[in-house]
Structure 1
Amino acid sequence: MTYKSTAIFLALGIFLAGVLVGCKTPPPPEPTPAPAPLPPVRKEAPVTREARPAAPPPPEIPARPVTRGILELIGKSAYETRDLQYFISSGITLEHGKGMQIDIEIYQGGEGMIKEINAQEKIIIPKDTGGILIPDTDPAIPGGPRTLKICFDDVDEHTLTFRENSADNRFYLVFREDRQYGEFTEYGNETYRVDFKGEIPYVYVKLDERTDDQPRTRELRGRYVASRENTPETTVPDSTPQPSPAPQVPANVSPSAVQSDDDELDLNTLLEL
């Protein structure tokens, strides 16, 4: 080790010794004051709201097949039969063949395509579908079965006809049966093949019946003959006889002369006695 290196290490040792002697022990940390206690929090009891009872469901109105009696009852009220909502008892399907339709398409290159379209129309009326009554302009036969034209579509002309059955007075769908092709019915102004499952569809309404007694009570006070004291006096027109005018004396006769004649008459009367 050279002299210069020894001097450097010696200087570093002296410097480190001075630093260690000059450093003081740090004072202990001052105690942190305790935080002030928080005021007690008042806990309020949760407000419990009473559960409102659910509103009772509206009473279910029974379904009743349309009969002549129901129509007559409605006719006697302030309403009309077309103000009532009608429903169909079972679903039906209407099919109508529109025939072959030919359409030709010409492409850009000059080639063409002929399309033959077998157009068919199918109309489905599900069970319990609502309809309205369309007034029938055809005169009804007196005493015969009545018919109702019900429209389930937006077009008034698209109606189905239901005719009254004399056996149970219900109004059933009118159709004709073809042994080869099935059943057909008139829908609007065209004939459609009709398909339904089960019994023949009829129309029904939702109509309830109840009895509401409304008594009217009155207490009579009687009726009595009015007394004369309480009878108001009637005013009779003045019928007092007016004095007759005095007899006019002729101008040539003086009143004294008339008086003398009376005196003579009285004297003669006395002489006769």
Structure 2
Amino acid sequence: MQQNQQSRQDFNRMTNQRSQDFRMAQTQKNRTGYGAGPMSKEAQLQAQAKQQKLELEANEKLTQLAQEQERRRQQHPAPNPQQAVLQQKKDDKQLNRLAVKNYREVFLPEQVTNALQAQQLSPEAQQQLQRLNKNLMDKSWWKNREGAQLQASVKAYNDTLTSLTTGLLGFNLASPPSMPSAFSVSNINAQLAADKFDQGAANQLIQDAALTERLTAGEQLAKAVNEFSHLSTAASGQETQPNPKKLKEEVQEGVRLVAKAMDRYIVRINSSTAIDDAQKALLKSTETYLAKKGK
């Protein structure tokens, strides 16, 4: 029993360290500006292939166990309906234990990693945004554009900025979703107490934690991008050509505000703990369940 307890403690430390290491790595890289983004495409493909293999193996174990249980029931049928019900409950508990074990060891760590990675701009998005920012802050770029061409260029920047930020925050900037309810594992604990487990409900808790982090950390970023969008829309909607000098000043100020808001987002998102706290709570609940049912 002590050995099993030590194994669970080692697993918890490993899983918690995985999230902490990811956040620390992201924070360190983000100091260069606009976030480090997720891993390279090649590394992503390798990680995805490994994860798919783990998930396939986990699901196969569940299928194999269910098939073994069915064979046993057919080979050794219960002597009466009451015994059949008891055997079915015992089998269901065994399946539920395996499902919970698979979740905490295979599915939960991957969902947390994906949620953390989604909080960063991809390397391609970073390069695209930095290139556009460089253009709009470059005097020579403005000299080579005027009139309708200038309006179209500003609109194109706004469209790209809005698209990248929407993808980063995961919601419509003009109408953000409501803040999720306060985190609670009471529903999951109630399920486990009844030897049930809804992985979808557990997944939703991580999703809500991630949304809470993005809404909190990205509030000023969404505001800055919306303000730039209003500026772009106003400039594009003018029947007469806008004053190039005034437009340049307004656009460059908007770019600076967006960059400042992005920096603030990076700092706040990397100091957020909602996802980490949700993961720890789910690990604790599932560990407690497996420990009790294993006795």
TM-score bucket of the superposed structures, by smaller chain: under 0.3
How high is the TM-score relative to the length of structure 1? 0.18
Which is richer in strand? 1
Which is richer in helix? 2
How high is the TM-score relative to the length of structure 2? 0.17
Larger radius of gyration: 1
